[in-house]
Amino acid sequence: MPGANGGPSATGVKNGSALAGLLLCVLAPLAKADTGTATQTLALAVNEVAVVDVSGSPGLLALDPVPGPPLPSVSDSSTYLRYTSVVPKVSGKVQSRNIQARLSSGRLPRGTQLRLLAAAPAGSKVGQVGTSAGQIVLTSTSKNLLTGVKSGWTGTGGLNGSQLTYTFAVTDPSALGTAASATLIITLTLIDPF
């Protein structure tokens, strides 16, 4: 309805202002939502890893004589070697590691030998966990037990990992003596040949 001088009535101006205010209240949060953006910068790294563990220690290996034939060798396959490895790339080439074993403490009884075999890793292994180097004779010098370990892991628990078989045998019966016993420490090391 027009006002006295032909312009809008006071009621029309009030209704128009109220409508504009209502639209401003409704549209203002939408405008803020479009500009309410944040960003973050996140740095990631994969670190080199070389971790090795065993499932325990083997039991007693005792040579028990029987009348007549040579002393039989005895073996224990009750433990597993477990490991995780992440290797670097050098000049664009993926490197690999070896797992070595050595007799680090104690002495074998005279006339005997201790051999060790690491089977190919089994169970829930992931990645390139290497291959067995075959049976080795343990001495104080480190020898390859597994070779070609790249990035991967063997899993933990149960039958996961590389089964270790220790074999104790007589090599020279004439060198054997009574009370020929020993306690040994075997060290297993995941090494970088690069």
Mean pLDDT of 75-91: 94
Q: d(Cα 162, Cα 77) in Å, to the nearest integer? A: 10
pTM of the predicted structure, to 2 decimals: 0.77
The pLDDT, as a whole number, for residue 71 is 82
The C-alpha torsion from 58 through 64 and 68 to 72, rounded to 10°, is 0
At residue 33, the pLDDT reads: 53
Q: Is pLDDT larger for residue 61 or for residue 12? A: 61
Q: Which of 41, 148, 157 is nearest to 95 (CA)?
A: 148
Of 58, 55, 147, 56, the residue nearest 100 (C-alpha) = 147
pLDDT for res 35: 65
> Tell me, what's the pLDDT at 152?
96
pLDDT digits 0-9 by tens, 110-168:
889 999 999 999 999 999 999 999 999 999 999 999 999 999 999 998 899 999 999 99
Check whether domain 49-191 has CATH 2.60.40, yes or no:
yes
Residue pair 167/74 in contact by the 8 Å Cβ criterion: yes
For 157-185, give the DSSP string.
STT-BEEEEEEEEES-GGG--TT-----E
Q: What integer pLDDT is reported at residue 29 of this predicted model?
A: 54
Q: What is the DSSP letter of 31?
A: H
pLDDT tens by residue, 17-51: 555 555 455 555 555 555 689 999 999 998 999 99
Q: Where are the domains of the chain?
A: 49-191
Q: Give residue 180's pLDDT.
A: 62
